[in-house]
């Protein structure tokens, strides 16, 4: 599963930023003291490239900006600054027909299959909608397409599922419908945001293997967002670890997870439990919790929790440094 | 004598025209200081099982058979008044979602003290001193007692919940998905905290989780639940290393690991049966790749020695262990 | 906190401004001469001209608005056509009676309604619950003034237990405590009317649904698991939380409450703003009606401020900054 | 598909007997309104010299101060009340959905403006406002209907806005946006169908409110004197409570029943569409 690192990547993300203004809520609205507008730096200066046919994992704890990055790449949010070059075009601030065209090529799979299907739509209608939006095929061709995609996602025979409503399906089946909806437009790139974390353990593998199968057969490229490093290891060939909106480590998945360099990556990995009662594991004592995203610490945002912190860490934001073989780390000690 | 033993316990929910068999004949026992893990997927009845122990069920729940014996007392026969006094003082809980388990309009410290004062004759001052030292014990500054829940982070709330569960020095703590809502680093800290507390206070514990890894690391004994029944149980080393039920085997091969070799994962096709219309035979038979004609009959719990039990006709069949059941 | 209150008071300015501009617009949109509307249809030609001068109605429209604002700021709401006295003075005289009626009814309704609703929720699905729900929806469906008329018919005219008109019995020449008792005696039927047919059913419904919601919360389960008695669980943990939506809603209902009070006053001849409004409608006394609109808006705004403060006292999650 | 949804709607609705009662009263009232010319024994405007006759066989509800038959007036009044209720709720619904969906969906400045507007709206006593407008502009029934409709829409708008706001961040809506669907398509196929029911419930309740408002206005002497309305009857009745109780009792009772049926039907729809209101029970014990 070596990434076929082409000279021109499918997606080239450059210095991507997304700041959300902090909305004052409730009674604070009436405050006489107006402090300067504050921002949550959900995504801050993120750059990476995704090659064709690659599964690119974004991993980190909640609030690290991975979901926002996914939304930016699937055109559901517009970046504050930076660019996302997709097939030579900048997705940032794209509008109208070109945006619609790109949306056909870029699809999304959401975390919660109980949320991502319209409860009032039958499976048939859910799957027809994208075809109708893009005016694809005749009536019978569309029906044909729907049946064949159901077949492909393993819901056989399709006619048993066409007229069902989401509440008549199990979690795994729903997520297969969600995959089918993403696949029916024949996309090149799919953003999958925690596609299995809400599913029961026993059906997770089915969805993961289905996605792998589409990659092998159709060359689909994925951005795979997950908080679970084990799942990232299983799925991806490249990985980025994010912390408070910034990238802290990037490289081939095997390399990063075998030889993590950033203290945060090490901390994350050491915290993952092992399904083996007799295997002891070395735990790094974590220090406190993730900082408030509105008040991100100065310098390296991880420094208050970092065991290897030095004086410089509180002052200067570390740059991503290549430590060899495309393995990049944002740490002053690297 | 076991601290807690469930003896063929059955608890159904009465719906308008049918029974939902959430707990359907479960036997389980737990010694003092022991930790047992209950693992199962959503809808398998694990929450109903632990709420049965505390008798905190919705009004349409009916105990239709079996016994729950705690420290020699049959809990199902205990009058509500005595049951209430037993709650928290003898059996306390750590809730899944700490955010929701704390009442938003009262100070956290007061809520912990409230549990203490409900069971012990203490002045407010004494209770507060005790709560404060407990806060320090679980790694929260004592001054944090006076904060409201919304002023706590997720991990801090979970620590406060742990402090609350310890406040009456119970014999048994039931932890319902204690870390599911938490990020992995905090999860690790909380689990370690719980373990440390257990070493210090020596209470028994039931940990309910859908996460096999969490169970593997925290529990000495494991019970695997499926459709209202425990289909396999044993000490965790033998169960994880030598599972004897196709469902357990399937579960163990369905999630990836961070360490060790990479294996192709397999999923268990189909979905668990509807609890209101369970199949006649083996509950897992419709999804089981090893199913044979004998599986049309409900298997009995088979004793495999060494406290390892499995509810599969083939549990002692060496062939089952050799066959690669899961993954094409 | 103090700062917050000031801020909220400043917030009322746009409300009042909008109300004033509204008044101004209505007068100018109305068919006929604004001066005649403000002076009254039966006014003499000289008086109409004097009114025109007074409000500057012969000047350009934006100057008129400014003049109008200025005069309102001085407290000059014009003169009542019926009483030939300043409108503001007349209105201020009437406020205490309305306040007495509204506050008493609101208090009675909130306490009773919340408790009845909570009881209903606690006995969800039982006969008691159904009876409470049905009674409250019936009461809620009655026109409040009609309920008042029926009470007058039964308790005032037929049984002669309560007086049916006014706030005091001037013929009895009471003073001191006697007078207080007399007022309370007059207050009884109006309060029953306003509470039973208007306010209490609303609070019953609110409290019932919010208690039902709260009882499903995890912290209720936690409270039970802690071994607290059912009464503590219910009264301490559930009711306190259930009060929050009730208070919020009470704040949203203030304009509505005032409407009910105005109608009730009309029926019972209660000498407050409602009765005054009724008379002013009857006499087509537009300056008074406009003044009433402004003043009642201010009253509702003040009451909503008080509601917000009460809410903040109940819910620690609210922060003032 | 639509038929099966209707059937399942009615099946759940039937479980709530109060709601069924509401529907029965509503049907009865509609029948009365349609058949008024056939049913009512007298012309509601016909004045006779039998003033203030108490209920008797000839005049089951008695006669009023001008000798008109109260029963006939009550029957005819059903028309005005129903028309008024539907008219007001219709205006309020249409305005509320449009003016609530726009700020909810597009957010930003439009939404801020709406929120400010709504805060101000809450502080304005609407009844006083309506009274002021009507006393100056006149008491034509349709005019009153429009004024009341226009003052009631903000509550529908607020509910619509809240629903839209909640739904637009839901994953299935995001999925539709992500597949390239237009704003209108997203609003009309995903958001409104899923979010409309509380607005419908509110509209049903508003019909009742509208009828009460009309009655209140008439009672204050601001009714349309060219129409036979229940409020008009009560307006006259208040001056004769001591002598002619029947004038007040029957018309008020009619108002109560009609408002009641709208409230019961509203509750019924809510009962069906909002499963949280139904019985708390444990089922598949997760």
D1-58 confidence digits (pLDDT tens): 466 778 888 888 888 888 999 999 999 999 999 998 888 888 888 888 888 888 888 8
Does residue C300 sit at the D interface (CB-CB below 8 Å)?
yes
Rounded to the nearest angstrom, the minimum Cα separation between B108 and chain C is: 12
Instruction: With CB atoms and an 8 Å threshold, state whether A31 touches C312.
Output: no
Whether residue B105 is predicted with pLDDT greater than 60 in this model: the reply is: yes
Q: How far is CA C309 from CA C112, C236, C242, C251, in A?
A: 22, 21, 17, 11
- Mean model confidence pLDDT for chain A: 88
Decide if pLDDT at A228 tops 90: yes
pLDDT tens track for A276-288: 888 777 777 666 6
Q: How many beta-carbon pairs under 8 angstroms link A with C? A: 25
- Cα separation, B135 vs B132, in Å, equals 5
Q: Is the pLDDT of residue A32 over 70?
A: no
**Residue to test with chain B: of D14, D278, D284, D286, most B Cβ within 10 A:** D284
Check D124 against C289: CB less than 8 A apart.
no
Q: Is B47 on the interface with D (CB under 8 A)?
A: yes
pLDDT at C306: 85
What dihedral do alpha carbons D232, D236, D237, D240 form, nearest 10°? 180
What number of residues does chain C have?
A: 321
Q: Which chains touch C (3 or more CB pairs under 8 A)?
A: A, B, D
**D166 pLDDT more than 70:** yes
Taking CB atoms and an 8 Å cutoff, what residues of chain B touch A268?
184-185
Residue C272 has pLDDT above 60, yes or no: yes
Between chains, do C255 and D125 touch, taking CB under 8 Å as contact? yes
Structure tokens at B94: 């750590």
Pairing of strands B35-39, B221-226: parallel
Contact B88 C315 (CB under 8 A): no
Nearest-CB residue to C217 (from B100, B119, B150): B100
The pLDDT tens digits for C241-258 are: 888 888 888 877 878 888
Whether B157 contacts B99, CB under 8 Å: yes
Q: Is B265 in Cβ contact with A204 (below 8 Å)?
A: yes
Domain D2-39+60-285 carries which CATH code?
1.10.3720.10
**Residues A148-166: tens digit of each pLDDT:** 999 999 998 999 999 999 9
Instruction: Confirm or reject contact between A130 and chain D (CB < 8 A).
Output: yes
pLDDT tens digits, C50-98: 888 888 888 888 888 888 888 888 888 888 888 889 999 999 999 999 9
Q: What b-and-e string marks burial along C165-188, b requiring 16 or more CB atoms within 10 Å of the CB?
A: eebeeeeeeeeeeeeeebbeebbb
Asked if B56 lies within 8 A of C224 by C-beta distance, the reply is: yes
Average of per-residue pLDDT across D162-169: 92
Q: Of A47-51, B107-111, B165-169, C59-63, where does mean pLDDT reach its minimum?
A: C59-63
Does D174 sit within 8 Å of A108, measured CB to CB? yes
Measured between CA atoms, how close is C253 to chain A, in angstroms? Answer: 19
What strands lie across the sheet with A328-329, from one edge to the other? A106-109, A189-193, A221-226, A55-59, A238-243, A246-252, A328-329, A321-322
**In chain D, what are the domain boundaries?**
2-39+60-285
Residues in chain A: 334
Closest chain D residue by Cα to residue C264: D216
- What pLDDT band is residue B98 in, cutting at 50, 70 and 90? confident
pLDDT in tens, C132-176: 999 999 999 999 999 999 999 999 888 889 888 888 887 777 778
What is the rounded CA–CA span in Å between residue C68 and residue C249?
35
Output the six-digit token pair for D191: 């958001």
**Chains contacting A (3+ CB pairs below 8 angstroms):** B, C, D
pLDDT at D238 over 70: yes
- At A8 the pLDDT is 75
Q: Reply yes or no on whether the pLDDT at A27 is more than 90.
A: no
Give me the residues paired with residue A13 across strands.
A48, A84
The per-residue pLDDT of chain D, averaged, comes to: 88
The H-assigned helical ranges of A219-329 are 229-235, 253-258, 263-271
Pairwise CA distance, residues D77 & D59, whole Å: 17
For the ranges A208-222, B286-300, D58-72, D130-144, the maximum mean pLDDT occurs at A208-222
Mean predicted lDDT score pLDDT of chain B: 91
Return residues 206-265 of C near D (CB < 8 Å): 209, 212-213, 215-216, 251-252, 254-256, 258-259, 262-263
Nearest to A172 among B212, B262, B271 (CB): B271
CA-to-CA dists, residue C206 to C112, C209, D233, angstroms: 12, 5, 33
Q: Are strands A246-252 and A328-329 parallel, antiparallel or unpaired?
A: antiparallel
Residues of D in contact with A116 (CB under 8 A): 171-172, 174-175
Mean pLDDT value across residues D87-93? 96
Q: Do C149 and D18 touch (CB under 8 A)?
A: no
pLDDT tens-digit readout, C91-126: 999 999 999 999 999 989 999 999 999 999 988 888
The pLDDT score that the predictor gives to residue D16 is 84
Extended beta strands in chain A, E state: 11-21, 39-50, 55-59, 81-86, 89-90, 106-109, 189-193, 221-226, 238-243, 246-252, 321-322, 328-329
Q: How far is CA A146 from CA A125, A215, C206, in A?
A: 9, 20, 47
Asked if the model's pLDDT at residue A7 lies above 60, the reply is: no
Residue A263, helix vs strand vs coil: helix
* For B277, nearest residue in chain D (alpha carbons): D284
Distance from CA of A70 to the nearest CA of D (A): 12
Instruction: Find the residue in D nearest to C266 (Cα).
Output: D220
* Interface pTM, i.e. ipTM: 0.84
- Greatest Cα pair distance, chain D, in angstroms, is 76
d(CA A35, CA C14): 23
Q: Which of D269, D279, D131 is nearest to D213 (CA)?
A: D131
Give pLDDT, residue A23. Answer: 65
Dihedrals φ, ψ of B209, to 5°? -160, 155
Closest CA to D130 of D250, B2, D138: D138
Q: What is the rounded distance in angstroms from the CA atom of residue B255 to the CA atom of residue B215?
A: 14
* Per-residue pLDDT at D275: 67
Bridge partners of B22?
Answer: none
- Cα-Cα-Cα-Cα torsion A124, A130, A136, A140, nearest 10 degrees, comes to 0
C150 inside 8 A of chain D by CB: yes
Does the structure show a pLDDT above 50 at B178?
yes
Give CA–CA dist B189/A287, Å, rounded: 9
A244-292: pLDDT as tens digits: 999 999 999 999 999 999 999 999 999 999 888 887 777 776 666 667 7
- The tokens 């959905």 sit on which residue? D97
Strands in B73-74's sheet, in edge-to-edge order, are: B19-30, B4-14, B61-70, B73-74
Q: How confident is the model at residue A94 (pLDDT cuts 50, 70, 90)?
A: confident
The string of pLDDT tens digits covering residues A162-204 is 999 998 898 899 999 999 999 999 999 999 999 999 899 889 9
Pairing type for strands B91-94 and B172-176 reads parallel
Which residues of C are less than 8 Å from A30 in CB distance? 4, 7-8, 11
State whether D219 and C263 contact (CB < 8 Å).
Answer: yes
Q: With an 8 Å Cβ cutoff, are B93 and C222 in contact?
A: yes
Per-residue pLDDT for A34 more than 60? Answer: no
pTM: predicted TM-score of the whole model, two decimal places: 0.86
Give how far A294 is from chain C: nearest CA, Å: 17
Report the pLDDT value the prediction gives residue D94, as an integer from 0 to 100. Answer: 96
Convert the pLDDT of each residue in B6-41 to its tens digit.
999 999 999 888 899 999 999 999 999 999 999 998
């Amino acid at each position: 599963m070596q990434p076929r690192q082409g000279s021109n990547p499918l997606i080239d993300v450059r210095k991507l930023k997304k700041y959300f203004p902090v909305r004052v809520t409730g009674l604070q609205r009436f405050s006489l003291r107006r402090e300067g507008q504050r921002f949550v730096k959900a995504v801050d200066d993120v750059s990476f490239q995704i090659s064709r046919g690659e599964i690119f994992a974004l991993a980190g704890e909640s609030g690290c900006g991975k979901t926002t990055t996914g939304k930016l790449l699937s055109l559901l949010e517009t970046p504050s600054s930076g660019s996302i070059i997709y097939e030579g075009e900048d997705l940032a601030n794209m509008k109208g027909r070109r945006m619609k065209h790109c949306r056909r090529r870029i699809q999304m799979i959401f975390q919660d299959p109980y949320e991502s299907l319209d409860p009032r739509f039958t499976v048939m209608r859910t799957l027809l909608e994208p075809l109708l939006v893009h005016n694809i095929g005749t009536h019978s061709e569309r029906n044909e397409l729907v049946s064949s995609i159901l077949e492909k996602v393993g819901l056989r025979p399709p006619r048993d599922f066409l007229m069902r409503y989401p509440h008549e399906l199990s979690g795994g089946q729903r997520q297969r419908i969600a995959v089918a909806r993403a696949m029916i437009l024949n996309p090149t790139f799919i953003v999958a945001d925690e596609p299995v974390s809400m599913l029961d353990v026993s059906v997770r593998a089915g969805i993961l293997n289905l996605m792998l199968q589409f990659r092998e057969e159709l060359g689909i490229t994925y951005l795979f967002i997950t908080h679970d490093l084990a799942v990232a290891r299983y799925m991806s060939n490249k990985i980025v670890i994010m912390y408070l909106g910034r990238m802290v480590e990037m490289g081939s998945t095997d390399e990063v997870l075998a030889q993590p360099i950033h203290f945060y990556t090490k901390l994350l990995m050491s915290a993952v439990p092992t399904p083996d009662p007799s295997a002891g594991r070395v735990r790094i004592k974590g220090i406190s919790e993730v900082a408030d995203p509105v008040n991100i610490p100065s310098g390296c945002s991880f420094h208050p929790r970092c065991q290897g912190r030095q004086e410089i860490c509180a002052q200067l934001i570390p740059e991503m440094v290549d430590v060899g073989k495309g393995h990049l780390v944002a740490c002053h000690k690297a | 004598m076991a601290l807690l033993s469930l003896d063929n316990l059955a608890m159904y929910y009465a719906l308008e025209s049918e029974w939902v068999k959430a707990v359907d004949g479960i036997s389980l026992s737990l010694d003092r200081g022991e930790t047992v893990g209950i693992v199962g997927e959503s809808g398998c009845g694990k929450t109903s099982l632990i709420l049965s122990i505390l008798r905190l069920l919705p009004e349409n729940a009916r105990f239709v058979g079996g016994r729950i014996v705690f420290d020699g007392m049959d809990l199902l026969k205990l009058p509500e008044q005595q049951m209430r006094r037993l709650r928290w003082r003898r059996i306390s809980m750590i809730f899944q979602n700490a955010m929701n388990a704390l009442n938003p309009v009262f100070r956290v410290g007061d809520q912990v003290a409230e549990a203490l004062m409900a069971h012990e004759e203490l002045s407010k001052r004494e209770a507060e001193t005790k709560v404060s030292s407990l806060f320090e014990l679980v790694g929260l500054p004592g001054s944090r007692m006076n904060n409201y829940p919304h002023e706590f982070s997720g991990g801090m709330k979970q620590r406060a919940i742990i402090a609350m569960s310890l406040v009456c020095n119970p014999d048994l703590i039931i932890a319902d998905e204690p870390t599911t809502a938490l990020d992995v680093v905090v999860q690790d800290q909380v689990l370690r905290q719980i373990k440390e507390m257990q070493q210090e206070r020596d209470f028994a514990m039931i940990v309910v989780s859908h996460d096999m890894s969490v169970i593997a690391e925290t529990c000495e004994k494991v019970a695997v639940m499926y459709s209202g029944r425990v289909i396999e149980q044993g000490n965790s080393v033998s169960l994880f290393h030598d599972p004897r039920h196709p469902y357990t085997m399937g579960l163990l091969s369905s999630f990836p690991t961070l360490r060790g070799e990479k294996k192709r994962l397999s999923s268990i096709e189909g979905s668990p049966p509807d609890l209101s219309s369970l199949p006649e035979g083996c509950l897992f038979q419709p999804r089981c790749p090893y199913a044979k004609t004998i599986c049309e009959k409900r298997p009995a719990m088979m004793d495999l020695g060494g406290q390892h039990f499995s509810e599969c006709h083939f549990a002692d069949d060496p062939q089952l262990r050799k066959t690669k059941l899961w993954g094409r | 906190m103090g700062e917050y209150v000031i801020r909220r008071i400043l917030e009322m300015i746009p409300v009042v401004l909008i109300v004033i501009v509204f008044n101004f617009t209505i007068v100018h949109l109305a068919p006929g001469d604004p001066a005649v509307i403000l002076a009254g249809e039966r006014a003499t030609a000289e008086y109409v001209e004097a009114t025109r001068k007074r409000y500057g109605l012969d000047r350009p429209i934006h100057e008129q608005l400014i003049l109008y604002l200025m005069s309102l700021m001085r407290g000059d709401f014009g003169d009542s056509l019926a009483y030939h006295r300043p409108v503001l003075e007349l209105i201020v005289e009437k406020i205490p009676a309305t306040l007495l009626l509204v506050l008493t009814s609101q208090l009675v309704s909130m306490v009773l309604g919340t408790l009845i609703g909570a009881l209903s929720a606690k006995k969800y699905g039982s006969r008691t619950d159904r009876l409470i729900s049905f009674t409250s929806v019936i009461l809620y469906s009655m026109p409040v003034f009609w309920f008042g008329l029926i009470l007058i018919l039964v308790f005032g005219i037929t049984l002669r237990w309560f007086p049916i008109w006014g706030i005091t019995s001037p013929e009895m020449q009471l003073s001191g405590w006697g007078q207080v008792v007399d007022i309370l005696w007059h207050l009884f039927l109006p309060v029953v009317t306003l509470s039973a047919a208007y306010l209490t059913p609303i609070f019953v419904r609110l409290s019932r649904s919010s208690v039902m919601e709260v009882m499903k919360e995890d912290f209720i389960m936690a409270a039970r698991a802690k071994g607290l008695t059912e009464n503590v669980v219910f009264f301490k943990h559930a009711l306190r939380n259930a009060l929050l939506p009730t208070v919020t809603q009470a704040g949203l209902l203030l304009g509505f409450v005032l409407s009910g009070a105005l109608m009730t006053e009309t029926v019972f001849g209660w000498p407050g703003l409602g009765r005054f409004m009724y008379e002013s409608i009857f006499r087509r006394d537009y300056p008074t009606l406009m003044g009433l609109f402004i003043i009642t808006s201010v009253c509702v705004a003040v009451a909503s401020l008080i509601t917000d403060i009460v809410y903040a006292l109940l819910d620690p999650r609210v922060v003032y900054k | 598909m639509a038929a099966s949804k209707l059937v399942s709607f009615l099946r759940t609705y039937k479980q709530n007997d109060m709601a069924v009662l509401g529907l029965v009263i509503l049907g009865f009232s509609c029948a009365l309104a349609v058949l008024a010319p056939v049913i009512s024994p007298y012309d509601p405007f016909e004045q006779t010299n039998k003033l203030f006759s108490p209920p008797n066989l000839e005049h089951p509800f008695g006669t009023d101060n001008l000798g008109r038959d109260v029963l006939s007036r009550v029957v005819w009044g059903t028309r005005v009340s129903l028309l008024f209720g539907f008219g007001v709720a219709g205006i309020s619904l249409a305005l509320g959905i449009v003016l609530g969906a726009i700020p909810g969906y597009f957010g930003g400045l439009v939404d801020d403006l709406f929120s400010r507007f709504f805060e101000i709206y809450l502080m304005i006593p609407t009844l006083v406002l309506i009274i002021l407008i009507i006393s100056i502009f006149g008491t034509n029934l349709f005019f009153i209907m429009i004024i009341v409709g226009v003052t009631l829409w903000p509550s529908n708008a607020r509910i619509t806005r809240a629903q839209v706001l909640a739904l637009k961040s839901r994953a299935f809506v995001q999925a539709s946006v992500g597949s390239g669907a237009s704003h209108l398509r997203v609003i009309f196929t995903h958001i409104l169908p899923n979010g409309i029911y509380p607005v419908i419930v509110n509209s049903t309740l508003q019909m009742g409110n509208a009828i009460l408002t009309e009655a209140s206005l008439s009672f204050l002497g601001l009714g349309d004197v060219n129409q036979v309305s229940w409020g008009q009857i009560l307006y006259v009745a208040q001056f004769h409570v001591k002598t002619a109780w029947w004038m007040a009792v029957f018309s008020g009772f009619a108002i109560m029943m009609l408002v009641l049926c709208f409230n019961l039907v509203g509750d019924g729809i809510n009962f069906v569409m909002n499963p949280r209101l139904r019985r708390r029970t444990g089922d598949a014990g997760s």
